[in-house]
Structure 1
């Protein structure tokens, strides 16, 4: 027998791939004894495979001292380009790889798998613990240890066996064998969980000279039932993939294996694949002609539930296997072995003192349970994310609609998928964190990212009070009792001002659309009391109400332009404003606040660039609001020609449309789209303009609030009864607008309180939630709701731009953890 265990804790590693070699390096630096058994005859064979090295894997490699050499041998990705089946661009070139670098401190790269294995091998100080030509044929374990026997007659023993032996893992098969007597259903589910819906021909070619690709370019073509990807490197080297959907879904026992002849047939079958179109198209046969190494494989996907049994545990592809489309499989494997290494070191530390026995089976199992608990959710989320991308790139099912209609407007689709798989990454707890990983714009955070996302349903339940305000507004603001009065006034054609002989014609036709004009004219009558100063208090309430609205609309436009809210309904503030005109802002604002709270949780702002607004549109917000919303309000209230005031009112009723058009024109004529630069180098570009706009709007709102209080007191704003109990139209309109104001701005202030609660829960609100909310209530009384909203929203914006989540790994947080500055 060879390879007997030493006196201390010892690990046997099955497999010398990315997972196995990473674990070997991690255990060596943890001073834990191990032996690694590789079935091939060399540690770093050339099998035609390439691999993406992304920040979650790079950080661990950096901790191990391997990153610098790995980075030298990989091509840094620079541009992503999405293309259709004919090779034509379907979205603008996307420099998101640079964004990933800025966000994490590590540039995403691509290179040969063989080079990564070689660097990991060469990083080891004692490579004598690695053994090749060791095909494991038998595994035995008992309460004290585990023993493996190889085909060459050698055997190795230790206290833990780690199966890093790939998707068809012998170690996992042994786990199933041991678990089946007591967990038959779980084993059966595991045996059925691995599927293959696609195959993939991947290769590396040299001497590709094409004018449309440069080193670092990644081009992906989307087609129904197939897709292709090229990643260009220096010197005409290109890594490429071509994938097709299989005629049926295969499972573990019947997943196909392919030969070189099958690969040749694949190329013939898909000779019409165009990876890059144009005058000089690049086709699959063009690449095949210059390919030096290639391999056709089935694309397995699996999320196994049995990760360990007794003293045997799996890591990497043997427990979580993802498609290659997102390029995250190797990085997920590196993460898993880092998590496992943390637990192994803790166990091994128990044996440092020779007075203590080796860890018991119970202690080993407890550690393995913790390992699976830490990694399972994130690992499964990575498999799901990559599987989703595979189906999108193959335009499988409903994903065809996503690619056709949404992808052209969402060029950062793939990078955002990546960052969600990266941010919550595991690290090696016993090795220092590299400074590069601590000073990025999206700090690593173990409480965020895939597998850790906050439940949208939970947020919806928490925000039910906002919907409660909406329901109350719906009941209270029922206009049906006043419609008869309004119709009579409209149809009568004349408004007689009280206490005077003045008669004002009621305009009934303006746009030349009878039904539409009749409806707008009916709505207009609700404003006549304020328009003609029939009730001075009502007039003042409308002035204050609509001036506050300038703050509300400006905030809605800022939120619409925010990167975190891209491709959500929040991008349509004009829609909510138009609905507010139809049903009352007191009913619609709570809905907007509810949707925002559910859609835009604090985790969306983990990346500082996600807080950023597109300045081209956000800078046009207040000019559009002021010109097309607020200016007509004041004009119609003071215009000397009483009849013309109604004409202005007709125009103002459609202000959401004019405002949206005006914003579009202003943004096109007055401002440039600088988002590509801002998201990398100018993350606070919008802050000064936000402060200026909302301070101006807030000062105007506060000034009108003070004027209203000085003239009429709080009774001008606070509802004094239900509209339905009013004796006439003008009294009804007075109470209706008061309730409209209370619902619209009351819900907005409640929404702000929710947002500050989020900040408090994230450890970003150092001032204390009760203190902030208390000051907000005082401000609402002294300055009015509009100014309070402006101040509160700006304060939150400053926090989002300058403070980090309590679990984010930054120089400050790591320094506090270790009691020293870094």
Structure 2
């Protein structure tokens, strides 16, 4: 045929077909649209939902603003039972969804969207009506398409955007059977499985009512009671519709509104089967299907039209890239090259459309109360969910959306980035997550053995400890205090902990005291970070949100407990949604009270414990006992301060359901100040110890004696020396686990595309920082950087990164 310019024949002038036409027009690829019906954009009363991933593509084409002017975004969700009574309702959805994705949810006439798409085509002669495709002939260098009226059209490829009952798909199968028997699976023709929003739940059926600008759109979904396959998908007549509707007229939509009130005022209605499928083969030779001709899902989630737009965009991306590689003026491509283009499109889209089909199916089952679990979720748990939970479910399938790669992406700040906004596509940890968990578990075991077993191997140590705790009233010449609360079990525990802490607090051994001071003040940043994480909503009700629970490290050692905490962190932080900037913020009532809570709850008790007490050992032991629940003090103080803050703030306007995509989130200044303060405490501790060692005349005050284990061949140690070994094991295992956690946090940010960073270099920086400024300062610096990376709401350009 000798085409001098690449040309696409599009069969179908619906959402998929006209979207593709607009994309080809924008990229300079020639096309013609063949529409079987006598007019484009007919007024048939059908509706369409446009979601952010579809609107973003339309925005690239310059079509978002004219569509947005036609309708207000959905702003209210109302869920009702079969009597029309409210089960749950949520307002402020429009602003919240806009902040999350940069776009709202629009619901309007399908004809209105088609009209915008139609009017944007500059050369209307390329849009032909009354052209039903009846035959497609594959040539060596193109396709010949014949329509029902006898017209013949030549092009390089033919794209079937002609809906569920696609003639192009039938022609594709016919050509494939003739030229390549077995290419189309035998099961392919029968693979089809069946501003205010109100969802009305009923058993085996449901209603969806949406208020538009000038119209109300309604859907009645019902289960036909059996599974059917093409070509036996039922087609219904108006008589069938009347019979079914007659039995539903008295169904309650609202307590004072029956279905009959809506139905009698209808503009138009249609009873149709809602098949759901994704064909295994979308293409053969120079023919490909898109939209409903290749994948169809139940309309309740609104993904169908958006999926059609996405597939059209993916096809356009592939064509533009392939044509850019063509040499010569004719811009023709071989059939083999076109096949690769089509295959790439299907592979890019298949997993996503299958996920959308499954989720739409489950959504329909949920609202139709198909099973006992669906009834519990809809009628019992949904009323307990807040707006964020409901919108989180609505948001989960949006970030994976495609876009036109050759066109500028209009900037719209958002709290949930699209995958192509990020430095890389977010990935789950996979087997590496299990490897991290095993590593932390191993450190916990090492910590336990080193703290609770190793010291007992030295002769006489265990017996001396038992004697001190059970029969002696003196400890190294100091009278042991055995009464603190009056409760024997509590007092025994506090006495044991006093024995463990007294040598360092009282200064019986200068090296041991220095280690103890350094260690406990280095824990201040960790307590700070753990408390911050407990306040984030994304950690709500997870084990890492109960920081008081982890204060058991006072009994077993932070070396044993911290690695287990990090394993719990692994379990909750794997999903992509955990890392959305939306999920990062700390509520205002907490972020403004965190600093006084950690200072008063942990830092002050630690200072008091080591403060000189005029050699009064009874007071000193009292402060040791008082210090032990210090992580719990932090929690109590935080709750009290946050409650007090809430009661003093004005409640005239509730903004709890409105999130804002800001360049500098309101909580960031407070968090940066908190991390900077904890960094300062660690720096002062680190260099204070170094200066003390450098200028001390005490021969025992050496870095090696403070921070290194003695030779293990020594078999006779005092209780204080044995406790020093225990503290050393606790310190070094905790340091290794926590520095590994910092490295894990860096890798996580790279894994989810929020940072372009070399993990190896980051690990080297963490190791060097531990030596130069101490582990506490490294934790603070790491979380300061992590916070700024997680808060980014602007686009992060794709970039190549080091491993």
Q: Same-fold call, TM > 0.5?
A: yes
Partner of 1:211: none
Partner of 2:523: 549
Equivalences for 1:75-474 in 2 at 5 Å?
75-81=72-78, 93-179=90-176, 184=182, 187-188=185-186, 190-191=188-189, 193-196=191-194, 216-221=195-200, 225-235=204-214, 237-245=215-223, 247-260=225-238, 262-263=240-241, 281-282=256-257, 284-345=259-320, 356=330, 358-394=332-368, 398=373, 404-405=380-381, 408-430=384-406, 432-433=407-408, 435-437=410-412, 444-446=418-420, 452-461=425-434, 463=436, 465-474=439-448
Partner of 1:754: 744
Where 2:108 maps in the other structure, the secondary structure is strand
Cα distance in 1 for partners of 2:157, 2:539 equals 48
TM-score, length-normalised on structure 2?
0.83
Match 1:624 to one of 590, 597, 601: 597
Cα distance in 2 for partners of 1:585, 1:732 equals 18
In the TM superposition, what is the alpha-carbon distance from 1:107 to its structure 2 partner? Answer: 3.4
Where 1:165 maps in the other structure, the secondary structure is coil
Cα distance in 2 for partners of 1:348, 1:612 equals 45
In the TM superposition, what is the alpha-carbon distance from 1:113 to its structure 2 partner? Answer: 0.8
Contact persistence 2:579–2:752 (CA under 8 A): no
Contact persistence 1:232–1:239 (CA under 8 A): yes
Structure 1 660/399 Cα, relative in aligned 2: closer, same or farther at 3 Å?
A: farther
Deviations 1:12-32 (A, max 9, x none): 222221001112222334443
Cα distance in 2 for partners of 1:511, 1:272 equals 67
Match 1:784 to one of 767, 774, 782: 774
Cα distance in 2 for partners of 1:361, 1:707 equals 74
| 1:37 counterpart = 2:34 | yes
Cα distance in 2 for partners of 1:637, 1:183 equals 85
Structure 1 171/269 Cα, relative in aligned 2: closer, same or farther at 3 Å?
A: same
Equivalences for 1:49-60 in 2 at 5 Å?
49-60=46-57
Contact persistence 2:10–2:161 (CA under 8 A): yes
> Looking at both structures, which has the greater relative contact order when contacts are Cα pairs under 8 Å and sequence separation is at least 6?
2
In the TM superposition, what is the alpha-carbon distance from 1:359 to its structure 2 partner? Answer: 2.2
In the TM superposition, what is the alpha-carbon distance from 1:309 to its structure 2 partner? Answer: 0.9
Where 1:11 maps in the other structure, the secondary structure is strand
In the TM superposition, what is the alpha-carbon distance from 1:395 to its structure 2 partner? Answer: 5.2
Cα distance in 1 for partners of 2:143, 2:213 equals 47
In the TM superposition, what is the alpha-carbon distance from 1:298 to its structure 2 partner? Answer: 3.5
Cα distance in 2 for partners of 1:134, 1:802 equals 50
Equivalences for 1:671-686 in 2 at 5 Å?
671=646, 676-677=657-658, 679-681=660-662, 683-686=664-667
Where 1:317 maps in the other structure, the secondary structure is helix
Contact persistence 1:722–1:735 (CA under 8 A): no
Contact persistence 1:180–1:187 (CA under 8 A): no
Partner of 1:201: none
Where 1:554 maps in the other structure, the secondary structure is helix
Where 1:446 maps in the other structure, the secondary structure is helix
In the TM superposition, what is the alpha-carbon distance from 1:123 to its structure 2 partner? Answer: 2.0
Cα distance in 2 for partners of 1:381, 1:316 equals 15
Structure 1 676/455 Cα, relative in aligned 2: closer, same or farther at 3 Å?
A: same
Gaps spanning 5+ residues in structure 1: where? 197-215, 814-822
Contact persistence 1:11–1:162 (CA under 8 A): yes
Where 1:427 maps in the other structure, the secondary structure is coil
Partner of 2:482: 506
Deviations 1:742-788 (A, max 9, x none): 22332222222233345567887678666654444343223321122
Cα distance in 2 for partners of 1:723, 1:525 equals 25
In the TM superposition, what is the alpha-carbon distance from 1:373 to its structure 2 partner? Answer: 3.0
Deviations 1:99-123 (A, max 9, x none): 4324544333111111111221222
Cα distance in 2 for partners of 1:251, 1:495 equals 85
| 1:706 counterpart = 2:687 | yes
| 1:497 counterpart = 2:475 | yes
Structure 1 476/606 Cα, relative in aligned 2: closer, same or farther at 3 Å?
A: closer
Where 1:75 maps in the other structure, the secondary structure is coil
Deviations 1:320-345 (A, max 9, x none): 22222321221111121122123344
Contact persistence 1:602–1:759 (CA under 8 A): no
In the TM superposition, what is the alpha-carbon distance from 1:308 to its structure 2 partner? Answer: 0.7
Contact persistence 1:459–1:597 (CA under 8 A): no
Contact persistence 2:533–2:539 (CA under 8 A): no
Which piece of structure 1 moves more, 614-623 or 149-158?
149-158
Match 1:593 to one of 556, 561, 566: 566
In the TM superposition, what is the alpha-carbon distance from 1:566 to its structure 2 partner? Answer: 4.6
| 1:577 counterpart = 2:550 | yes
| 1:9 counterpart = 2:6 | yes
Where 1:161 maps in the other structure, the secondary structure is strand
Contact persistence 2:483–2:491 (CA under 8 A): no
Structure 1 794/434 Cα, relative in aligned 2: closer, same or farther at 3 Å?
A: closer
Structure 1 742/103 Cα, relative in aligned 2: closer, same or farther at 3 Å?
A: same
Contact persistence 2:233–2:273 (CA under 8 A): yes
In the TM superposition, what is the alpha-carbon distance from 1:806 to its structure 2 partner? Answer: 4.8
Cα distance in 1 for partners of 2:392, 2:314 equals 24
| 1:669 counterpart = 2:644 | yes
In the TM superposition, what is the alpha-carbon distance from 1:808 to its structure 2 partner? Answer: 5.4
Contact persistence 2:97–2:104 (CA under 8 A): yes
Cα distance in 1 for partners of 2:376, 2:592 equals 32
Between the two proteins, the alignment pairs up a number of residues equal to 775
Partner of 1:741: 731
| 1:694 counterpart = 2:669 | no
Partner of 2:24: 27
